[in-house]
């Protein structure tokens, strides 16, 4: 069973059909919607500020979601995939976003809907990624505009797949 921990009297809250891997950690002021998954070795740490997560969000293996004390909460919309070993810290991620493996999104960043943060990108503090953009590099810069086909295939497709994958781990429970 996942490590669920109360911090300062506040426990994580979960919607329906949420899969939590046995060694994932979710603590404090975390509110997660329906059909979400938190995978192996991922940490969602709402100890110093709040973390709000929408529906159909997958937080893949080794990812870290955190925030900044008294300065920056973390808000994640619907249909968001947070890739393996990515880090989201004190930022806002709108709906239909893919955060690539190993990328970092820092405090006060806003990632608008239908956008992709490429694997390994570092999105510096305060960056505002406009809807329909692909950002890559260190520091991350816009490299391309994403079209509707890519949005459906990459962003929505991965989100849908992770709902399916999580069902494999909960069958027969």
Q: What is the mean pLDDT of residues 60-86?
A: 97
pLDDT given at position 149: 87
Dihedral sign for Cα 52, 12, 56, 39, please. Answer: positive
pLDDT at position 152 is 83
pLDDT at 173: 61
Q: What is the architecture of the domain spanning 3-170? A: 3 Solenoid (2.160)
Q: Is residue 38 packed enough to be buried (19+ CB in 10 Å), middle (13-18) or exposed (0-12)?
A: buried
Q: What is the pLDDT of residues 13-64, one digit of tens each?
A: 999 999 999 999 999 999 999 999 999 999 999 999 999 999 999 999 999 9
Residue pLDDT, tens place only, 116-137: 999 999 999 999 999 999 999 9
Note whether 73 and 96 are within 8 A (CB). Answer: no
Query: Model confidence at 172, in pLDDT bands (50, 70, 90)?
Result: low
Residues 18 and 32 sit within 8 Å (Cβ to Cβ): yes
Residues 87 and 105: their CA atoms lie apart, in Å, by: 6
Q: What is the pTM of this model?
A: 0.96
E strands, 35-165, are 37-38, 43-53, 58-59, 64-66, 74-76, 80-82, 87-89, 92-93, 97-99, 104-105, 110-111, 115-117, 122-123, 128-129, 133-136, 141-145
Residue of 45, 3, 33 whose CA lies nearest to 20: 3
| Domain ranges for the chain | 3-170
How would residue 1 be classed by pLDDT, with cut points 50, 70 and 90?
confident
């Amino acid at each position: 069973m996942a490590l669920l921990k109360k911090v300062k009297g506040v426990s994580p809250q979960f919607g329906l059909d949420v899969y939590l891997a046995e060694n994932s950690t979710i603590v404090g002021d975390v509110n997660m919607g329906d059909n979400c998954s938190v995978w192996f070795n991922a940490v969602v740490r709402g100890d110093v500020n709040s973390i709000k997560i929408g529906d159909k969000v997958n937080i893949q293996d080794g990812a870290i979601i955190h925030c900044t004390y008294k300065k920056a909460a973390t808000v994640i919309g619907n249909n968001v995939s947070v890739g393996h070993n990515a880090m989201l810290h004190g930022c806002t991620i709108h709906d239909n976003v893919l955060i690539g493996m190993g990328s970092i999104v820092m405090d006060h960043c806003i990632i608008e809907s239908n956008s992709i943060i490429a694997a390994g990108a570092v999105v510096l503090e305060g960056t505002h990624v406009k809807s329909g953009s692909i950002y890559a590099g260190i520091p991350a810069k816009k490299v391309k505009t994403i079209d509707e086909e890519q949005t459906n295939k990459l962003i929505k497709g991965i989100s849908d797949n992770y709902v399916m994958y999580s069902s494999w781990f909960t069958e027969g429970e």
